[in-house]
């Protein structure tokens, strides 16, 4: 194996980016003799200025974790045993080839999990594997997360990641729905140290308002918090839009020349009076009216929604309504409003304008529409049980913990002919694998946050090579993905460097087209080939971008070489107006009333009279990270975290007591969890965090297994989806709760 990683001499402090969440905090990593000694916040980081959260220290434990796989394992009879890389690759590649030969390309499904969005290797080399497998059965954590927001961004602004970001550092008013950035550290809003940024809004005389069924850590530091019933964001926001029209407060500001559909929205909003939706939302009509007026009156204001607005049955309508408020109060594309980013690296930047066409094909069982080349993970079990799927490849994903109706999906996985995982742990999903190919730990890979910088509240760029070398024999993750990809193309014998050249040439061809460079494709390929692997691809993307050197046209512009001279990253300034160029719809206009969304309004209207008894929502904890950081002792210690939050009135009514146990049952399953009685949760709502339930046969997460907890996705229903996108509706699950 070629040692591509960079050798370091002891003891050295290196500057890297924490890969654990979307905040992209700068870390100073002290490495001594190849060992990671210390991780601190980097006070000189251009973006985070020293801020980190407790999870960053977990990087040391992840690195040293004895449960982390140091080499591949394969299934032998009932058990997993160690194997050489050659044997493991052969098992994976031969197995996949046999299944594709016998049943066709769509017999292999692939699922990309959340960490793949934080890994430069997976971001840049995952697509090669996807293309090589030629399967329509592509899934990712997107459809358990932000797919509705991607859809509305594509329909309105012409790109799935053309998502307006709240300009938190300049806004006078931030209206937050279904997000808890003090704990999650922000999502679809890359912004290290959200506590400081939110406090700063208030310090400069602005306001922070939170609508959430739970009085969250963020709500506790806000000016106002209102309980909002799960699944009613679209209703509340359309009522706010109603008031904007009713009171003559609508203004379009910078977006005015490009916006169409205002009259349609006016007609739609006419039906959603605050008085009509108030009881369902759990907010007084007068409060909704006041929130609308104050939002319109603010010098600048941003409306921001996250998991609570996307992972629910009206995810697309709620995501749309968030941007309606931004556009109709004149806050789109203005400082302090909701703005677009100008990222230094943006794959596909120069692609031609094109209409967004979801549903180019459908899932085979339920006919759910493809979006962005993927099918919703909520239907993966259907496609295994009754559709074409015979094998699943998971990359950086734990769907048997994170996808809805986990028990059914587990049974479906058990029935597969082959399960291949690229993953460092034996967890709920990979314990069933036939082959696990472990990547090196995060500090052994290069970092540049290609995806997250597209959503950052300032334009920033930072590239860093791996902090430590891969262990002998351990391939980099991009090499693992490329090895699988070339085998899937029938070119297993091709050397990795040649396969890597092919990946680079393909990306050069795609990015060069339309970029208007003086340099030819061949010149570009030659220039970037001072590097190889991910660094070469980052060099291309950065140099060809708006801050780049454009291969000599713009002296002093960015390149990987220039970024290596700036180990703390480069601040490229506050968000800047992007209209009209940023909008990539065919005619350059922003359609405020896309037919696909309007068509879902009758379903929303029908929900107004619903009065659910008890519904379940999720929550996150600062020291957790979805399902995979519970094995770090320092992060999991303390009182049990996987508790059922219940309002005191409900506890009395249901006969539950604090510290007792409750049985929670839904259409698809039941779990027993410890009860935590608190008035921080809205009456009629209970909450359980996700990512727990590690104690299963075969799981190799010693620490995590010892901390119990149940898998909340034994309760979430795979039939409960956002009707337009098929995104999982983890929030608002109808449950019955009894004392256990």
Binding mask 38-77 for ligand SF4 (x = CB under 6 A): --------------xx-xx---------------------
Question: From the CB of 242, what's the least distance to ligand MGD, in Å?
Answer: 18
Parallel, antiparallel, or unpaired for β 338-339 and 165-166?
Answer: antiparallel
**Total of residues contacting ligand SF4 (CB under 6 A):** 12
Question: From the CB of 554, what's the least distance to ligand SF4, in Å?
Answer: 31
Given ligand MGD, Mo ion, ligand SF4, none, residue 156, with its beta carbon under 5 to 8 Å by kind, binds none
Question: From the CB of 350, what's the least distance to ligand MGD, in Å?
Answer: 29
Question: From the CB of 310, what's the least distance to Mo ion, in Å?
Answer: 9
Binding mask 394-433 for Mo ion (x = CB under 5 A): ----------------------------------------
Given Mo ion, ligand SF4, ligand MGD, none, residue 18, with its beta carbon under 5 to 8 Å by kind, binds ligand SF4
In the bound state with ligand SF4, the residue whose beta carbon lies nearer, of 18 and 219, is: 18
In the bound state with ligand SF4, the residue whose beta carbon lies nearer, of 629 and 737, is: 629
**Among the listed residues 353, 423, 311, 428, the one whose alpha carbon sits nearest the alpha carbon of residue 162:** 353
In the bound state with ligand MGD, the residue whose beta carbon lies nearer, of 145 and 591, is: 145
For ligand MGD, the nearest residue by Cβ is 308
Question: From the CB of 4, what's the least distance to ligand SF4, in Å?
Answer: 25
Q: How far is residue 565's CA from residue 255's CA, in Å, rounded to a whole number?
A: 39
- Write out the DSSP string of 224-287: EEE---TT-HHHHHHHHHHHHHHTT--B-GGGGGGEE-HHHHHHHHHT--HHHHHHHHTS-HHH
Alpha-carbon Rg for the chain, nearest whole angstrom, is 25
CA distances from 666 to 223, 406, 732 (A): 35, 13, 11
In the bound state with Mo ion, the residue whose beta carbon lies nearer, of 145 and 382, is: 145
Binding mask 127-146 for Mo ion (x = CB under 5 A): ------------------x-
Question: From the CB of 511, what's the least distance to ligand MGD, in Å?
Answer: 25
Query: Which position among 5, 14, 25, 175 is part of the footprint of ligand SF4 (CB under 6 A)?
Result: 25
Q: How far is residue 646's CA from residue 552's CA, in Å, rounded to a whole number?
A: 62
Q: How far is residue 464's CA from residue 448's CA, in Å, rounded to a whole number?
A: 7
In the bound state with ligand MGD, the residue whose beta carbon lies nearer, of 505 and 621, is: 621
Parallel, antiparallel, or unpaired for β 458-461 and 644-646?
Answer: unpaired
- Give percent helix, percent strand, percent coil of the chain, each to the nearest 5: 35, 20, 45
In the bound state with ligand SF4, the residue whose beta carbon lies nearer, of 127 and 192, is: 192
Collapsing DSSP to helix, strand or coil, 580 comes out as: coil
Collapsing DSSP to helix, strand or coil, 288 comes out as: helix
In the bound state with ligand MGD, the residue whose beta carbon lies nearer, of 568 and 694, is: 694
Question: From the CB of 590, what's the least distance to Mo ion, in Å?
Answer: 26
Collapsing DSSP to helix, strand or coil, 338 comes out as: strand
Question: From the CB of 628, what's the least distance to Mo ion, in Å?
Answer: 12
Sign of the torsion formed by the C-alpha atoms of 490, 495, 498 and 502 = positive
Q: Name the site residues for ligand MGD (rule: CB under 6 A).
A: 21, 113-115, 119, 141, 144-145, 177-181, 183-185, 187, 211-214, 216, 228, 230-231, 233, 306-309, 311-312, 395-399, 401-402, 422-425, 427, 439, 442, 477, 617-622, 624-628, 690-691, 712-713, 716, 730-732
Query: Which position among 5, 14, 18, 535 is part of the footprint of ligand SF4 (CB under 6 A)?
Result: 18
End-to-end CA distance of the chain: 55
Regarding 192 and contact with ligand SF4 (CB under 6 A), the answer is yes
In the bound state with ligand MGD, the residue whose beta carbon lies nearer, of 489 and 622, is: 622
The answer to whether 375 touches 138, Cβ cutoff 8 Å, is yes
Question: From the CB of 194, what's the least distance to ligand SF4, in Å?
Answer: 9
Question: From the CB of 548, what's the least distance to Mo ion, in Å?
Answer: 30
Given ligand MGD, Mo ion, ligand SF4, none, residue 737, with its beta carbon under 5 to 8 Å by kind, binds none
590: Cβ–Cβ under 8 A, 6 or more apart, which residues?
156, 157, 255, 258, 259, 260, 327, 332, 583
Question: From the CB of 451, what's the least distance to ligand MGD, in Å?
Answer: 12
For Mo ion, the nearest residue by Cβ is 145
- Return the HEC string of 612-662: CCCEEECCCCCCCECECCCCCHHHHCCCCCCCEEECHHHHHHHCCCCCCEE
Q: How far is residue 284's CA from residue 279's CA, in Å, rounded to a whole number?
A: 7
Q: How far is residue 715's CA from residue 733's CA, in Å, rounded to a whole number?
A: 8
Question: From the CB of 114, what's the least distance to Mo ion, in Å?
Answer: 5
- Chain centroid to Cα 589, Å, comes to 27
Q: How far is residue 454's CA from residue 189's CA, in Å, rounded to a whole number?
A: 9
Treating both helix axes as pointing N-terminal to C-terminal, what angle do 120-133 and 533-544 enclose, rounded to 10 degrees?
A: 100
In the bound state with ligand MGD, the residue whose beta carbon lies nearer, of 559 and 626, is: 626
Question: From the CB of 399, what's the least distance to Mo ion, in Å?
Answer: 13
Given ligand MGD, Mo ion, ligand SF4, none, residue 216, with its beta carbon under 5 to 8 Å by kind, binds ligand MGD
- Chain centroid to Cα 609, Å, comes to 33
The β-bridge partners of 41 are 27
Q: Which stretch binds ligand SF4 (CB under 6 A): 17-25, 203-211, 230-238, 519-527?
A: 17-25
Given ligand MGD, Mo ion, ligand SF4, none, residue 213, with its beta carbon under 5 to 8 Å by kind, binds ligand MGD
Given ligand SF4, ligand MGD, Mo ion, none, residue 103, with its beta carbon under 5 to 8 Å by kind, binds none
113: Cβ–Cβ under 8 A, 6 or more apart, which residues?
140, 141, 394, 395, 396, 397, 398, 399, 402
**Chain positions contacting ligand SF4, by CB under 6 A:** 18, 20-21, 23-25, 52-53, 55-56, 185, 192
**Chain positions contacting Mo ion, by CB under 5 A:** 145
């Amino acid at each position: 194996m070629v040692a591509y990683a960079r050798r370091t001499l002891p003891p050295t402090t290196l500057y890297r980016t924490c890969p654990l969440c979307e905040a992209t905090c700068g870390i100073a990593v002290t490495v001594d003799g190849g060992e990671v000694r210390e991780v601190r916040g980097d006070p000189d980081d251009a973006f985070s200025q020293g801020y980190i959260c407790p999870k960053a220290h977990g990087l040391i434990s992840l690195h040293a974790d004895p449960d982390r796989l140091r080499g591949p394992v394969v299934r032998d009879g009932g058990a997993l045993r160690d194997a050489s890389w050659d044997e493991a690759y052969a098992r994976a590649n031969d197995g996949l080839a046999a299944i594709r030969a016998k049943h066709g390309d769509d017999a292999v499904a692939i699922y990309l999990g959340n960490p793949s969005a934080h890994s430069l290797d997976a971001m840049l080399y995952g697509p090669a594997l996807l293309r090589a497998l030629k399967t329509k059965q592509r899934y990712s954590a997107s459809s358990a997360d932000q797919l509705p927001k991607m859809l509305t961004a594509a329909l309105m602004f012409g790109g799935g990641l053309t998502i307006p970001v709240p300009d938190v550092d300049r806004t006078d008013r931030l209206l937050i729905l279904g997000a808890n950035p003090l704990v999650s550290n922000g999502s679809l809003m890359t912004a290290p140290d959200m506590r400081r940024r939110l406090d700063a809004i208030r310090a400069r005389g602005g306001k922070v308002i939170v609508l959430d069924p739970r009085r969250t850590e963020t709500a506790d530091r806000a000016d106002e918090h209102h309980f909002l019933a799960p699944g009613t964001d679209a209703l509340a926001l359309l009522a706010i839009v109603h008031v904007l029209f009713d009171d003559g407060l609508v203004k379009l500001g910078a977006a005015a020349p490009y916006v169409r559909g205002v009259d349609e929205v006016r007609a739609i909003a006419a039906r959603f009076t605050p008085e009509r939706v108030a009881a369902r939302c759990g907010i007084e009509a007068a409060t909704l009216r006041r929130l609308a007026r104050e939002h319109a009156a603010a010098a600048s204001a941003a409306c921001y929604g996250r998991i609570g607005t996307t992972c629910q049955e009206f995810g697309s309508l709620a995501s749309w309504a968030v941007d309606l408020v931004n556009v109709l109060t004149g806050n789109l594309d203005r400082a302090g409003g909701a703005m677009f980013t100008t990222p230094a690296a943006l794959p596909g930047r120069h692609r031609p304008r094109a209409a967004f066409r979801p549903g180019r094909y459908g899932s085979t069982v339920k006919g759910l529409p493809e979006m962005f080349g993927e099918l919703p993970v909520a239907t993966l079990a259907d496609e295994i049980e009754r559709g074409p799927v015979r094998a699943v490849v998971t990359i950086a994903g734990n769907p048997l913990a994170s996808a809805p109706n986990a028990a059914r999906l587990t049974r479906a996985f058990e029935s597969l002919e082959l399960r291949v995982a690229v993953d460092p742990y034996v967890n709920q999903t990979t314990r069933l694998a036939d082959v696990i190919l472990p990547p090196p730990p995060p500090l052994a890979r290069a970092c540049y946050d290609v995806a997250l910088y597209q959503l950052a509240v300032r334009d920033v760029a930072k590239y860093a090579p791996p902090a430590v070398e891969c262990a002998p024999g351990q391939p980099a993750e991009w090499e693992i993905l490329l090895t699988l990809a070339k085998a899937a193309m029938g070119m297993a014998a091709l050397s990795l460097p040649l396969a890597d050249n092919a990946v680079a040439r393909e990306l050069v061809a795609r990015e060069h087209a339309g970029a208007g460079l003086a340099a030819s494709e061949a010149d570009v390929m030659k220039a970037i080939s001072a590097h190889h692997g991910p660094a070469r691809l980052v060099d291309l993307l950065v140099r060809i971008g708006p801050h780049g050197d454009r291969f000599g046209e713009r002296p002093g512009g960015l390149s990987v070489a220039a970024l290596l001279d700036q180990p703390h990253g480069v601040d490229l300034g506050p968000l800047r107006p992007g209209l009209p160029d940023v909008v990539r719809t065919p005619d350059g206009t922003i359609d405020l009333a896309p037919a696909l969304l309007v068509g879902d309004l009758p379903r929303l209207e029908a929900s107004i009279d619903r009065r659910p008894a008890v519904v379940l929502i999720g929550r996150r904890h600062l020291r957790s990270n979805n399902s995979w950081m519970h094995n770090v002792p320092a992060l999991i210690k303390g009182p049990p975290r996987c508790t059922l939050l219940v309002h005191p009135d409900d506890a009395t009514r249901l006969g539950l007591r604090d510290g007792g146990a409750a049985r929670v049952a839904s259409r698809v399953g039941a779990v027993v969890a410890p009860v935590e009685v608190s008035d921080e949760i809205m009456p009629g709502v209970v909450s359980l965090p996700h990512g727990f339930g590690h104690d299963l046969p075969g799981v190799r997460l010693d620490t995590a297994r010892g901390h119990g907890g149940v898998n909340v996705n034994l309760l979430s229903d795979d039939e409960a989806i956002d009707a337009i996108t098929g995104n999982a509706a983890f929030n608002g699950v109808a449950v019955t709760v009894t004392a256990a």
